[in-house]
Structure 1
Amino acid sequence: MSETGHDLHSLFPGQGPALHALKLQDAHFRTLAEQHHDVTLEIQRIEDGLVAASDQRVEALKKQRLQLLDEVAALVAAHEAA
């Protein structure tokens, strides 16, 4: 089981320094990153057949992941603009 391709460093290539700085400096960012990681792992478990879930549940999780990514992207952009 792997979240390769959905981890923040893969999704924000070239922005590793900003991700690292935010992880150290911003509690809200850390919370978002943890939530993104947890949601991604849950989706992966479902897709791997380890956990049963309805299509609606999978779609809800994917929408949640996108919302988290939107927030992460905004924080990364704000950090880089500062």
Structure 2
Amino acid sequence: MSNTPHTLSEEFPGQMDKIHALKVSDSRFAQLLLDYDVVNDEIHVAETNIEPTSQDHETELRKRRLAIKDQIAEALSQAA
């Protein structure tokens, strides 16, 4: 598996201004961003074997990151 961090700027290119604006105006969106960063960091730690974890747990983390990413994308599309 790749151990490349999935930063929000890579996942949502060209939308960082919009992300920042939503972050400061919507506390729920701000929490989504925090949740994404926490899960993303956990995945990166697992992938680099800093803290080895089971494949099942790593898969669950990836699913959680994807679900959060989908919620962020939905919020961005609704704010358009």
TM-score when normalising by structure 2: 0.91
2:25 counterpart residue number: 25
Q: Where in structure 2 are the equivalents of 1:1-82 lying within 5 Å?
A: 3=5, 6-80=6-80
Matched position secondary structure for 2:29: helix
In terms of mean alpha carbon deviation, does 59-68 or 10-19 score higher?
A: 10-19
Deviation at residue 2 of structure 1 after TM alignment: 7.0
Where in structure 1 are there 5+ consecutive unaligned residues? none
Aligned with 1:45: secondary structure?
Answer: helix
SS for the counterpart of 2:51 is coil
Partner SS, residue 74 of structure 1: helix
**Runs of 5+ consecutive residues of structure 2 not aligned to the other structure:** none
Give the AA of the match of 1:27.
Answer: S
Q: Identity over the aligned pairs, expressed in percent?
A: 31
- Relative to the length of structure 1, the TM-score reads 0.88
Q: Distance in 2 between matches of 1:54 and 1:62?
A: 13
Count matched residues: 78
